[in-house]
């Protein structure tokens, strides 16, 4: 067992257990905090995959903004301090079956692909991934168009969210 594999297994255990706690716990603020743990595990995984920039952007965007939005939304939409009653609706057995089937189906389909078990090649040395990523996001024959469309999407979401969430009296 190389150290990489040990770190991956620990990380995967953290992610899967946190995700299970997210979908089963009754207290919604706890669910949001377990989501933070799962997202942090995913950030560690990006570090393992040597995408360091993505790991930090994951922490900044997901944990620093989205998780905090979730915690605020949970606090603003609760009638009393403790959540009463079950948080799972009556379809949970079919949902669990569907989830298992999805997992099994995905694994089966992927395992019949011949690149399934390949190990990674070493990254080419001397190539700065960050520079390649930066250039790809702004060069006209690479991905500048999706980049600009994403920024317009964010602008629309910003204006829309402020408008929807503002009180309707004015």
Partner 1 sequence: MSIPLSWYLILSAALFSIGLFGVLARKNAVAILLGIELMLNAVNINLVAFWRYGTGSIAGQVFAIIVFAVAAAEVAVGLALIISVYRRRSTVIADDLDLLKW
Partner 2 sequence: MTFWNDPINLIAGWLRDVFMGWGMTAGLANVITSLIGIIVMILFAMLIAIALVWVERKVVARFQDRLGPNRIGPFGIFQPFADIVKLIIKEDITPAGADKVVFNMAPVISLASVILIWAIVPLASKIYGVDINVGVLYLVAVGSFGTLSVIMAGWASNNKYALIGAFRMVATMISYEIPMVVALMIPTIIAGTMSVKGITEAQSNLWFVILSPLGLLLFMISAIAELGRSPFDLNEAESEIVAGFHIEYSGMKFGLFYAGELLHAFTFGGFMAVLFFGGYGGFFGLEKLSAFTWLSNPFIELVVFLVKALIGYWIIMWVKYSMPRIRIDHMLTFNWKFLTPLAFVLLMMTALFDKLLAPTQFYVVGMFLSNVVLAWIVIEILRRYSKRERVEHEKNAEPVIQVAHH
CB of 140 to partner 1, least distance (A): 14
Dihedral sign of CA atoms 48, 51, 54, 59 in order: positive
The least distance separating partner 2 from the CB of residue 100, rounded to whole angstroms, comes to 30
For residue 120, the minimal CB distance to partner 1 (Å) is 5
What's the closest the beta carbon of residue 72 comes to partner 2, in angstroms? 8
What track of x and - describes contact with partner 1 for positions 132 through 161 (by CB under 8 A)?
Answer: xx--xx----xx--xx--xx-xx-xxx-xx
CA angle 20, 21, 22 (to 5 degrees): 90
Q: Which of 30, 48, 82, 84 binds partner 1 (CB under 8 A)?
A: 48
The Cα 50–Cα 33 span in angstroms is 26
Among partner 1, partner 2, none, partner that 6 touches (CB below 5 to 8 angstroms by kind) = none
CA-CA distance, 17 to 38, in Å (whole number)? 8
Which residue from 10, 20, 56, 148 is in contact with partner 1, where contact means CB under 8 A?
20
Q: Please tell me the count of residues contacting partner 1 according to CB under 8 A.
A: 90
Distance CA 161, CA 167 (A): 12
C-alpha angle 18/51/99, rounded to 5°? 35
Q: Return the number of the residue (129 or 143) whose C-beta is nearest partner 2.
A: 129
d(Cα 110, Cα 39) in Å, to the nearest integer?
Answer: 24
Least separation in angstroms between CB 82 and partner 1: 14
Torsion of CA 152, 54, 129, 126, to 10 degrees: 160
Does residue number 36 form part of the binding site for partner 1 (CB under 8 A)? no
Q: Which residues bind partner 2 (CB under 8 A)?
A: 3, 29-30, 33, 36, 52-53, 56-57, 59-60, 63-65, 67-68, 71-72, 75, 128, 130
With a CB cutoff of 8 Å and minimum separation 6, the contacts of 56 are: 43
């Amino acid at each position: 067992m190389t150290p990489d594999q040990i770190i991956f297994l620990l990380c995967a255990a953290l992610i899967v257990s946190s995700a299970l706690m997210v979908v089963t716990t009754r207290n919604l603020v706890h669910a949001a905090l377990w989501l933070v743990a799962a997202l942090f595990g995913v950030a560690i995984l990006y570090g393992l995959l040597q995408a360091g920039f993505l790991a930090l952007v994951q922490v900044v965007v997901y944990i620093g903004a989205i998780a905090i939005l979730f915690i605020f939304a949970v606090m603003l939409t609760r009638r009393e301090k403790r959540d009463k009653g079950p948080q799972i609706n009556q379809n949970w057995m079919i949902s669990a079956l569907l989830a298992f089937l999805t997992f099994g189906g995905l694994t089966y389909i992927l395992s019949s692909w011949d690149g399934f078990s390949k190990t990674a090649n070493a990254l080419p040395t001397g190539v700065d991934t960050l520079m390649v990523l930066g250039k790809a996001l702004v060069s006209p024959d690479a991905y500048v168009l999706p980049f600009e469309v994403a920024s317009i999407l964010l602008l629309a979401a910003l204006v829309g969210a402020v408008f929807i969430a503002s009180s309707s009296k004015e």
